[in-house]
Amino acid sequence: MNQGTADRDARKRADEETPLLGGASQHKSTGTDDDSPPVRATGLPLIDEDEQVERAKEPPVTWRSLPRKDQLLILTLARLSEPLTQTSLQSYMFYQLKSFDPSLPDSTIAYQAGILQGAFSATQFLTAVFWGRIADSEWVGRKRVILVGLLGTTIAALGFGFSHSFTTAVIFRSIGGALNGNVGVMRTMISEIIKEKRYQSRAFLLLPMTFNVGVIIGPLLGGILAAPIATYPWLFGPGSWLGGEDGVGWMRRWPYALPNLVSAVFLFSAACAIYFGMEETLYSLRDKPDYGLRIGRWIRNRLCFRHSKKDHDPLPTESSATARPGVQRQPSYGTASSDQAAKPKPRQKLPFHRIFTRNVLLTFLAHATLAWHVGTFNNLWFVFLSSSRFDPEHPVPPSHHSQSLPFNFTGGLGLPPARIGMALAILGCIGLLLQLVVYPLVTTRLGTVRCYRIFLLLFPIAYVIIPYLAVIPSKTPPPQPASGPLVWIAITVVLLFVVGGRTFALPSSTILINNCCPHPSVLGTIHGIGQSVSSGSRTLGPMLGGWVFGLGLKVGVVGVAWWMLACFGLWGAFLGTLVREGSGHEIFLPGEKEDEEDEAVNGDRR
């Protein structure tokens, strides 16, 4: 059999295996009444036969097949440093707030914890759109915004660790949020590095997967390093090898500074990696000189790899991208010469008032609701784990009545920082396992929107069940911390629901925000608005949730805050049914349609 016969057979098989919309048999359509291309059952236009055969031969997408892994690795490490810092303080925040004023009841501490969590999100809400607009501008770009965010969070972590009062802690948390718009900018950079949609489900999974790694490491570090004199008296306490006669002075004065010092080291290291290794992805700045990259390349070539002179490939410009629409090619060129590096063509920018299409608004509303209840869960979870257990022999007024199921019961689990770190680490371990093994398979089969809609339903189920952990039989009586295998099995089962929803809903939400962008020129702004919307929700949610949780402790119904979250989860699941996945370029400015067609024609000729 010759090659031509083989190609015809392959094309025939591809045509027979592609059902048309509306069940229109398995034969190829010659067109429709409005001369639009035939449509598959998925709603996508049929591609030409040569491209069908070419795509059928493409290998499946794997982690190894992702392009520009060097840039993705740097972004991933930079993202890791932030959740590591944020989740580290959750394991000891309750006890640090208690150290500011030991006379305060648990209900007041719960409210303060909500304010402290909300302070970071509140200032981030106020500045995230600003950082998104700055990242879209030619005089700053993406890379500098990320550097400001990392260094600002470093300062905030150090200030928080050395705080002596609740007011000071709130101020430094607010500073950290105001200077940090990194999540939206990092999502923008990923979408500009990875342009092909078939890679996006894995590429956009990197940031939430990194968050789960931070959720594993951060709480464990926080629990291990918090109050080191009390935790390791033989090493840091009075009469110890390092402590001398009175113990290590600064650790005695600032017992929660050590985990923040470690977090600051991670953040500063990430800033150095960005400065020396990250390429600018903003289209208009890709050909501008980058002294950080030059120094980083010199360090690699002269100090680390003296015998290697091969430079990494820079990010592709749009002029070097695909000849066929929807197919990306990663060009390989090192030092740009005058005939290789074409000057970027000036791009038109979509006016700000035209950004808010119907799908953009619905996507942001659904994203805000998801961020509301997930952010509130993150705050209430460690407060619930830290709150004192209900002791029927020594009840705290006004909860003097006996507990009665299914609604009238109160108290938490009373876990110390080390065990809280373990409970939070379980959250991260389950999430990481699901993201590495299950998520790619399920999203490939179901698609982004369907995954988003299905797994949003797991949140209200989890929120209804969580408060009943307070009445799980424990090996130790109150007021001692809850313990025993039954307690930890119940915690793991509940977290399986939460992490299952978060693993699939959050990356899908990020992809939907990226693809609802009406024009590529406002992509950074869209992600900035998305982060601002998320931050606003994560400001109000924990504050309201902390207040309701404290109220529930007072009246003897600890579940009221969790059941309120379940209502928000149901509302978010309804909004998910209204969201659709966009193309990322639904509005064409004058002349753009013609430029795109010319580029496609010229590419086909090449």
How confident is the model over 513-563, as pLDDT tens digits?
888 888 887 887 888 888 788 888 888 888 888 889 888 888 888 889 999
Distance between CA atoms of 502 and 431, rounded to whole angstroms?
A: 8
Q: Name the average pLDDT for the chain.
A: 77
Distance between CA atoms of 389 and 548, rounded to whole angstroms?
A: 18
Is 45 in a helix, a strand, or coil? strand
pLDDT at 402: 60
Do 508 and 452 touch, CB atoms closer than 8 A?
Answer: yes
Residue 187 host element (H or E) = helix 182-193
Does 135 have pLDDT greater than 80? yes
pLDDT at 523: 81
DSSP one-letter code for 138: T
Confidence label for 104 from pLDDT (cuts 50, 70 and 90): confident
Residue 52 in tokens: 């069908």
The tens digit of pLDDT for each residue in 319-332 reads 444 444 444 444 43
Does 44 have pLDDT greater than 90? no
pLDDT at 217: 84
Homologous superfamily of 69-277+362-576 in CATH? MFS general substrate transporter like domains (1.20.1250.20)
Of residues 334 and 206, the one with the higher pLDDT is 206
Confidence label for 37 from pLDDT (cuts 50, 70 and 90): very low
Distance between CA atoms of 382 and 221, rounded to whole angstroms?
A: 15
Give mean pLDDT, residues 452-469. 93
pLDDT at 332: 38
Residue whose pair of structure tokens reads 């036969």 in the numeric block: 49
Does 359 have pLDDT greater than 70? yes
Confidence label for 264 from pLDDT (cuts 50, 70 and 90): very high
Does 155 have pLDDT greater than 90? yes
Q: Tell me which range, 58-67, 461-470, 474-483, is most confidently predicted by mean pLDDT.
A: 461-470
Distance between CA atoms of 476 and 152, rounded to whole angstroms?
A: 44
Distance between CA atoms of 154 and 98, rounded to whole angstroms?
A: 24
Quick one: what percent of the chain has pLDDT higher than 70?
Answer: 78
The tens digit of pLDDT for each residue in 398-423 reads 444 566 778 878 888 888 877 877 78
Do 545 and 375 touch, CB atoms closer than 8 A?
Answer: no
Contacts of residues 378-381 at CB distance under 8 Å and 24 or more positions apart, as own/partner, are: 378/90, 378/117, 378/542, 379/113, 379/114, 379/117, 379/541, 379/542, 379/545, 379/546, 380/542, 380/545, 380/546, 380/549, 380/561, 380/562, 380/565, 381/424, 381/427, 381/466
- Indicate the domain borders of the chain: 1-24+37-58, 69-277+362-576
* CA dihedral (513, 533, 420, 239) positive or negative: positive
pLDDT at 462: 93
What is the per-residue DSSP string for 291-349? HHHHHHHHIIIIII-TT--PPPPPPPPGGGS-SSTT-------SSPPTTTSPPPPPPP-
